A and B are shown apart, each in its own frame.
Chain A
Amino acid sequence: MAWNEPGGNNKDPWGGGNRNNDGPPDLDELLRKMQQKLNGLFGGKPSDAGDGRPGGGSFPWSLVMIVLAVVYGLWGFYQVDANESAVVLRLGKYHNTVNSGLHWNPPLIDHVTKVNMTEVRTERTTGQMLTEDASIVDVVLQVQWHIDNAESFVLRVRDPLKSLQEATDSALRHIVGSQTLNGVISQNRTQVAADTQVRLQEYLDLYQTGIRVDVVNLTDAKAPREVQDAFDDVVRAREDEVRLQNEAQAYANQVIPVARGQAQRMIEEAEAYKSRVVESARGEAARFTALLAEFQQAPEVTRERMYLDAMQEVMSNTSKVMVDVEGGNNMMYLPLDKLTGGASGGASQRTQVTPQVVDEISQRVMNQIRTEVNNARRSREVR
């Protein structure tokens, strides 16, 4: 039992056996021989069994061989999925790359590495980096990639993923280093991503990683936390600028129409004044002309009539004090301050001075004057 453990786990028994018989090692020949030997075993099985059994007690070698061969044969089957490729090394040497399907390769001789070719994977890099204007910017970048060349990916570079990380870091920092801060943050974001993608692919090809970059996204590019408040303030200032303009515009939009309205009002009022003045002039002129015509018909009478009419109106509408000042030697007391005070007196009293009060005062004054005048006359008559 002990012997078949190394034999089962190692390819060497077959190769070794052949080599001892056939001399220098040649891989293809070796395989061929092996195949022949296997065929021989299959074909020779009955006779071997026949020989073995009569011998009695002899171990059934052929059976063991057959079982081993079957196990070995089944062991060599493997499946490659639709999204995979498998890189086959035969005795360490690159043999071929196979695509989806069921495949068989001799185990232990061939070494199969399967890689997923269609899965899009994501690599992220983030950090503070320097820009062209020696500012610092916080960038988060995402790279989506897939394996393009399975052979390169498996065989050419020791650690493709680490290479990808390093190349991403280097390419991104290179591109950011040739952009200004404002460019990275706002204007040239897409440009940064595109340039990084080109450069990154260049590096990956140079390192033979077999990786193809699908998309590079500049997920985030902003000022570092340490200066974020200052950047926010710029945004606020921009809004302030717009707000101030809008407020001023609103003011203008209000002031000018109001002024226009007021201007129109002034003009309308002037028009009204003009009409009023002109029309009243026309009216008065017409009235005068008409009156003049009548006056010229009978000047004396008309004049007299008009005079008397006017005097009547004046006299009937005013308080009258008739003074005969011929007798200049008579002292006459007229309480003019009271008379006028009652009429146009202090502003403080004006509200209380009703027409009745004025009438009453005037009446009293008139009475007093009358008695004075009568007295004077009587004294004159007496003389």
Chain B
Amino acid sequence: MDFNLTQEQSQFADALRRWVEKDYNFEQRKHIIASDAGVSPSAWTALAELGALALPIPEAQGGFSGTAIDMLVIMQELGRGLVIEPYFATVLAAEFLKLAGQHDHLLEQVASGELQMAAALNEKQARHELFNIATSASQNADGFVINGVKTVVLHGAQAGQLIVSARSSGAQRDSDGISLFVLDANAAGISRREYRSIDGYRAADITFNQVQLPSSALLVTQGAGWPLLEAGCDYGVTLLCAEAIGVMEAIFAATLDYLKTRQQFGVPIGKFQVLQHRMAEMFMELEQARSMATLAAVKLSSEDAEERRRTVSAAKARIGQAARYIGQQAVQLHGGMGVTNELPAAHMFKRLTMIELSLGDTDHHLARFIAQPGFKAAA
């Protein structure tokens, strides 16, 4: 048993951290958020040069074949630095290609940093249900025609290529009949409406109006996309869990520092036991969350899909609980400053809150954990 990072992993983390400290600090980030683009091309170049984009891509496509544990390290650092670039969106979308074993040229472009991607999976009525899909995919002589609307697609407007879930057959909430496609985000019939998210990201609603795709756009057998959709999103959840650990570490450190420096009644407020015990609770939440993020990363590649689903959902549920507690308490302990937009801690709180609501919230994943046959079979 070994919980240590490898030397390569530590070096990767250090390099990312140094880059964040130098070129992606709080002020620089603020400018990026306020800019028209909402993302930073130079930051993207830096991420590519650091190897962060090549890391998850298979060696055969010019990557480093990084594991989920390697990605845990990256996402923690990006979380700590509150990096709002289309990294998560791109890596998540690329995972679908990787799992499908198709479109190697796109993976090569991701590895080299030429291509940004996004996964257009959400729909307005779906809430957290990935299988709840009204967007249709009908087959014709030239391939497939897509119609529908995807909502809150993270970095959907920046992406050059999109992964899209659509329905080939069945009722709106059936897990059978789902197809997955990869397509050019500028294809005829696609319109994208971009907006800011409350945690500083960019997102888009994307309308597909008679979008004609070639047959090669289909990722797995028509109508049989559900296992791929679930597996890809479990990868995404694992990345978000890791990111949340980084954000929680940062907000915890900022709060601890504040407790040691902020004076009231002639002493640092960290001398008050009621605040000390709150910090002790936050510490325990963070450590329990860290354990689950690690477990999820290890079990992600489990050959037993139920084991993967069960662990990933357990992690998301546990980390969601920790993120909410730590975020809210950090704001409370910062007092009036905590509710301003001026401190990094406030932005960390917003990011943690949005992570909890992304790719299934705590209740969603608790229900998914319970729904796995093993929950009752173990009894």
Q: Do A and B come from one complex?
A: no
Taking Cβ atoms with an 8 Å cutoff, the residues of A that contact B are none
